[in-house]
Amino acid sequence: MTTVAVIGGGVIGLAIAWRCLERGHEVSVHDPDPGGGATGVAAGMLAATGEARFGEEPLHRLLLAAARRWPEFAAALASASKKDLSYRSDGTVLVAGTDDDLRAVTRLVDFHRRCGLPVQPLTAAEVREREPLLSPRVRGGAFLPDDGQVDPRRVARALMSLVPVSDTPPEDAELTVIAAGHASAGLVPGLPVRPVKGQILRLRGMGLTRVIRGHVANRSVYIVPRADGEVVVGATEEERGTDTTVTAGGVLDLLRPAVALVPGLAEYELVEATAGLRPGTPDNAPLIGVVRPGVVVATGHYRDGVLLAPVTADAIVELLDTGELPELVKPFHPNRFTDVHR
């Protein structure tokens, strides 16, 4: 048994803490605002295909491995916490709003196919069969059958019901896990993680059935409907340091393409407009690795923290069991950019 202190009560830190507790380790989580930060605003798309981007192939392998772990993770967490996580694995519709966007979507779909990712091109009529609330003006798209979603706030609450969380710094621990998102840079000097602002909206209304990833007039937007009527519309990507101001322009940048794709959204109640700070890294992939004896970093999950939580947690458990991280995550050591963290 090892004593483990996890600094950061977002979905990454909480998932690590829960998996370590399950293995019989003595664990505490330290965060003045657990479940806040990026987790508290995230949409919760489990988008191994939808988030796969040109030039990020090593990250794809990790995203796919992460997606394969979600069904078991969600079932185990729901059962242990007796809480509904609003987990769904019924696919995502990729939609193009204009002919220009259709060319971009077609290039993306070709890329997904070359990567061996599951994707089915759809005509405009087929796209609207998948999601009837889409505008008759959409030009076409694709279906990503393996991409799902979960409610990150529910996941955080479920995990917090299972792990001890404190708002004070830890006592001595045999292993300290730094999982404090972008703020990890303040705890590990030189760690290449930075805040990337995302403004995001929460609407309320019924009728939408599918996660939509839309491209409209060269802007992208995602729309994530949940069974309870919450509809998340996200998200901007802005390099503005730790600023979390919600701006009229940011809201417009989300609502304009979202309403162009799903005109009925204009009638939905606008419940919340917030901004969070993703932990971004130079290559958009996470930072997972031992940075000095007794200290391991697990941050930098950027746009994929919710998806990557189970695979990251399992990696830390393996580190505790064997003294080594699994091969799958070794390429993501923070020292891949420089040697200063060795």
Helix axes 11-22, 305-322, angle to 10 degrees: 40
| Residues 143-182 as x/- pattern, contact with ligand GLY by CB under 6 A | ----------------------------------------
Radius of gyration of the chain (CA): 20
Strand 148-149 to strand 211-216: parallel, antiparallel, or no bridges (unpaired)? unpaired
| Residues 202-221 as x/- pattern, contact with ligand GLY by CB under 6 A | --------------------
Structure tokens at 321: 């069991």
Tell me the closest approach of the beta carbon of residue 43 to ligand GLY, in angstroms: 6
Tell me the closest approach of the beta carbon of residue 6 to ligand GLY, in angstroms: 22
From 14, 177, 235, 275, residue interacting with ligand GLY (rule: CB under 6 A): 235
Tell me the closest approach of the beta carbon of residue 38 to ligand GLY, in angstroms: 8
* Residues binding ligand GLY: number (CB under 6 A): 7
From 7, 17, 27, 45, residue interacting with ligand GLY (rule: CB under 6 A): 45
Euclidean distance between CA atoms 40 and 201, whole angstroms = 12
Q: Which is nearer to ligand GLY, 205 or 234 (CB)?
A: 234
Tell me the closest approach of the beta carbon of residue 127 to ligand GLY, in angstroms: 21
From 182, 303, 336, 341, residue interacting with ligand GLY (rule: CB under 6 A): 303
Instruction: Tell me the residue type at 43.
Output: A
Instruction: Tell me the residue type at 273.
Output: A
Q: Which is nearer to ligand GLY, 20 or 85 (CB)?
A: 85
Euclidean distance between CA atoms 6 and 1, whole angstroms = 15
Rule CB under 6 A: is residue 278 a binding residue for ligand GLY?
A: yes
Q: Which is nearer to ligand GLY, 54 or 327 (CB)?
A: 54
Q: Which is nearer to ligand GLY, 179 or 235 (CB)?
A: 235
Q: What angle do CA 99, 104, 109 make, to 5 degrees?
A: 115
Euclidean distance between CA atoms 303 and 150, whole angstroms = 14
Q: Which is nearer to ligand GLY, 277 or 316 (CB)?
A: 277
Tell me the closest approach of the beta carbon of residue 198 to ligand GLY, in angstroms: 5
Tell me the closest approach of the beta carbon of residue 1 to ligand GLY, in angstroms: 35
| Residues 106-145 as x/- pattern, contact with ligand GLY by CB under 6 A | ----------------------------------------
Tell me the closest approach of the beta carbon of residue 340 to ligand GLY, in angstroms: 28
Q: Which is nearer to ligand GLY, 128 or 195 (CB)?
A: 195
Would you say 330 and 315 are in contact if contact means Cβ atoms under 8 Å apart? no
From 35, 140, 198, 225, residue interacting with ligand GLY (rule: CB under 6 A): 198
Count other C-beta atoms under 10 Å from residue 203's C-beta. 23
Q: Which is nearer to ligand GLY, 81 or 284 (CB)?
A: 284
Tell me the closest approach of the beta carbon of residue 190 to ligand GLY, in angstroms: 25
Tell me the closest approach of the beta carbon of residue 234 to ligand GLY, in angstroms: 5
Binding residues for ligand GLY, rule: CB under 6 A, are 43, 45, 198, 234-235, 278, 303
